[in-house]
Amino acid sequence: MLAACSQTSQSDPNSHVQLGPRPFYLLAAMPEGGLKDKLSACQNGPFYPSRFSIGHRGAPLQFPEHTQQSYLAAAKMGAGALECDVTFTKDHQLVCRHSQCDLHTTTNILATSLASKCSVPFTPADPNQGTPASAKCCTSDISLAEFLTLDGKMDAANPHAKTVAEYLGGTPPWRTELYASHGTLMTHAQSIALFKSLGRHFTPELKAPEVSEDKSHLSQQQFAKALIDEYRSAGIDPAEVWPQSFNLKDILYWQKIAPDFAKQAIYLEDRDEPQHNSLERQVEALTLLHHPEQLTPTMAELAGLGVKIIAPPLWALVTVENQQLVPSAYAKAARAAGLDIIAWSLERSGPLRQGGGWYYQSINGQLEGQNQLRTEGDVLTLLDVLAKDIGVIGVFSDWPATTSFYANCMQLSIVK
């Protein structure tokens, strides 16, 4: 019987979702009421992956982002889709990193011989001049072979550092170094193979270049095409891929060269209000088809350009009315235009009891001087507003177990 159980768990990636204690810690912290009662009724599971639950860079609340360990943790916690932010190395190979130039904060490169290849070497803090410690190390500074020798670490740096060892610290206290002794970096192609083996969907984000384009670097269109090509080469069904970009031109380019993949392309943005129509704005809109980067289009104009999914930060979607969390004007405008919405990123910027950080700015201490999120359990309250009142189709999370728990209780995009 033990052999049969082992065989089942290895052959079925959906059979062993483990949420761990955090969702239930949050549940216990919720105020009494109907939502808590409903979530409490399903706390014994069983739990399955949900595509409502998206692993934001894996599970970086505790694991180094964009590493094999982080992705495996996110999948174990029921994330139905996993994110590889995509940039490229000096030899034009696609790799998973949040930005082209973050190796100095997300890897151990400064403690290796590759530090000599960094765009900007480590400079210690100078308190007399008031200058912080700094460095700049880019994936495009090194080859793929060199990239793969690095270890991933928690994304952080100590601006007061006098030494490299001090600079590589700085992890916020609400994260942990417990699982950060070694993080296995991955190429984009390796992430595709891993996510496929786990039975998960793919949501790659095409990153913007942070260095000048020249003959040694990919153009943005070459880069955008290369990302899609790696899914085609791996034989991945376009229906399982949700490509993302903050650059509207990337979305429109995918519509031209890969319409099958562009059907689920996600336009990322961080404006906080919908653009309003006016006669002047309608005249300006005539330039959108040829120069979309020059204007911020209205929600209706985005829909007219073929955009199907928009993804803003959490705080852009909610506000407070009569001491209740409610959809923002932005959220209402997006839904009125027929756009689907994905939100980012839950459990990203610190404990709610400490203000919650950047991702909660519109609802935590910013309106009427009130602290609208009062307990850690209000993470689940926010999820309920996003799902039921706004109708988002997915939520990025730094700890996907929380979103997976809510999605299972509400039967949202469950994969059995």
Q: At which of 184, 209, 230 does a domain end?
A: 184
The encoded tokens of residue 264 equal: 């689920």
The encoded tokens of residue 319 equal: 């506000």
193 and 105 assigned to the same domain: no
Query: What is the arithmetic mean of pLDDT over 318-341?
Result: 92
Report d(CA 117, CA 67) in Å as an integer: 22
User: Domains in the chain: how many in total?
Assistant: 2
Distances (CA, A) of 161 to 124, 165, 266, 338: 6, 8, 38, 49
pLDDT value at residue 365: 60
pLDDT reading at 230 higher than 50:
yes
The encoded tokens of residue 41 equal: 């009724």
Query: What is the arithmetic mean of pLDDT over 372-393?
Result: 92
164 and 218 assigned to the same domain: no
249 and 273 assigned to the same domain: yes
172 and 193 assigned to the same domain: no
* Residue 1 covered by a domain: no
251 and 110 assigned to the same domain: no
Report d(CA 260, CA 30) in Å as an integer: 42
Pairing of strands 340-346, 79-82: unpaired
Q: At which of 126, 160, 184 does a domain end?
A: 184
236 and 108 assigned to the same domain: no
117 and 74 assigned to the same domain: no
Assign 291 a pLDDT band (cuts: 50, 70, 90): low
Closest CA to 305 of 292, 320, 322, 323: 292
Residues counted in the chain? 416
154 and 115 assigned to the same domain: yes
70 and 219 assigned to the same domain: yes
Neighbours of 304 (CB within 10 A): 14
Assign 257 a pLDDT band (cuts: 50, 70, 90): very high
pLDDT reading at 286 higher than 90:
no
pLDDT value at residue 214: 56
Residue 68 near residue 191 (C-beta atoms within 8 A) = no
Assign 201 a pLDDT band (cuts: 50, 70, 90): very high
73 and 128 assigned to the same domain: no
Q: At which of 184, 209, 224 does a domain end?
A: 184
Assign 2 a pLDDT band (cuts: 50, 70, 90): very low
Q: Return the bridge partners of 15, or none.
A: none
What CATH number is attached to the domain comprising 321? 3.20.20.190
Compare 9 and 229 and report the one with higher pLDDT.
Answer: 229
* Residue 378 covered by a domain: yes
Query: What is the arithmetic mean of pLDDT over 228-248?
Result: 97
pLDDT value at residue 280: 44
The encoded tokens of residue 342 equal: 């994905």
Longest dimension (CA), the chain: 72
- Sorted by sequence, the CB contacts under 8 Å of residue 371 that are 6+ apart come out as 355, 364, 365
199 and 168 assigned to the same domain: no
- SS3 string of the chain? CHHHHHHHHHHCCCCCCCCCCHHHHHHHHCCCCHHHHHHHHCCCCCCCCEEEEEECCCCCCCCCCCEHHHHHHHHHCCEEEECCEEEECCCCCEEECCCCCCHHHHECHHHCHHHHHCCEEEECCECCCCECCEEECCHHHCCHHHHCCCEECCCCCCCCCCCHHHHCCCCCCCCCCCCCCCCEECEHHHHHHHHHHCCCEECCEECCCCCCCCCCCCCHHHHHHHHHHHHHHCCCCHHHECCEECCHHHHHHHHHHCHHHHCCCEEECCCCCCCCCCHHHHHHHHHCCCCHHHCCCCHHHHHHCCCCEEECEHHHHEEEECCEEEECHHHHHHHHCCCEEEEEEECCCCCHHHCCCHHHCCCEEEECCEECCCCCCHHHHHHHHHHHHHCCCEEEECCHHHHHHHHHHCCCCECC
Query: What is the arithmetic mean of pLDDT over 307-335?
Result: 92
pLDDT value at residue 54: 98
Q: Return the bridge partners of 370, or none.
A: 367
Closest CA to 394 of 386, 318, 356, 136: 386
Closest CA to 386 of 349, 412, 350, 353: 412
Assign 284 a pLDDT band (cuts: 50, 70, 90): very low
The encoded tokens of residue 407 equal: 């999605």
Assign 283 a pLDDT band (cuts: 50, 70, 90): very low
Domain limits for position 116? 100-184
Report which listed range, 72-81, 277-286, 366-375, is most confident.
72-81
* Residue 401 covered by a domain: yes
pLDDT value at residue 3: 36
* Residue 112 covered by a domain: yes
pLDDT reading at 207 higher than 60:
yes
Assign 356 a pLDDT band (cuts: 50, 70, 90): confident
Query: What is the arithmetic mean of pLDDT over 369-390?
Result: 85
Q: What proportion of the chain, given as a percentage, has pLDDT over 70?
A: 87
Assign 126 a pLDDT band (cuts: 50, 70, 90): very high
- Sorted by sequence, the CB contacts under 8 Å of residue 235 that are 6+ apart come out as none
Letter for the amino acid at 126?
Answer: D
- Sorted by sequence, the CB contacts under 8 Å of residue 216 that are 6+ apart come out as 90, 140
Assign 83 a pLDDT band (cuts: 50, 70, 90): very high
pLDDT value at residue 276: 46
pLDDT value at residue 136: 97
pLDDT value at residue 355: 77
Pairing of strands 94-96, 85-88: antiparallel
pLDDT value at residue 311: 97
pLDDT value at residue 350: 85
Long-range contacts of 110-113 (CB under 8 A, 24+ apart): 110/135, 110/137, 110/164, 110/167, 110/168, 111/164, 111/165, 111/168, 112/149, 112/150
Query: What is the arithmetic mean of pLDDT over 156-164?
Result: 97
Compare 3 and 371 and report the one with higher pLDDT.
Answer: 371
Residue 262 near residue 306 (C-beta atoms within 8 A) = yes
pLDDT value at residue 290: 47
| Average pLDDT score over the chain | 89
* Residue 93 covered by a domain: no
pLDDT reading at 13 higher than 50:
yes
* Residue 6 covered by a domain: no
The owner of tokens 């139905």 is 80
Compare 310 and 4 and report the one with higher pLDDT.
Answer: 310
* Residue 2 covered by a domain: no
* Residue 415 covered by a domain: no
Query: What is the arithmetic mean of pLDDT over 31-50?
Result: 96
190 and 321 assigned to the same domain: yes
Assign 215 a pLDDT band (cuts: 50, 70, 90): low
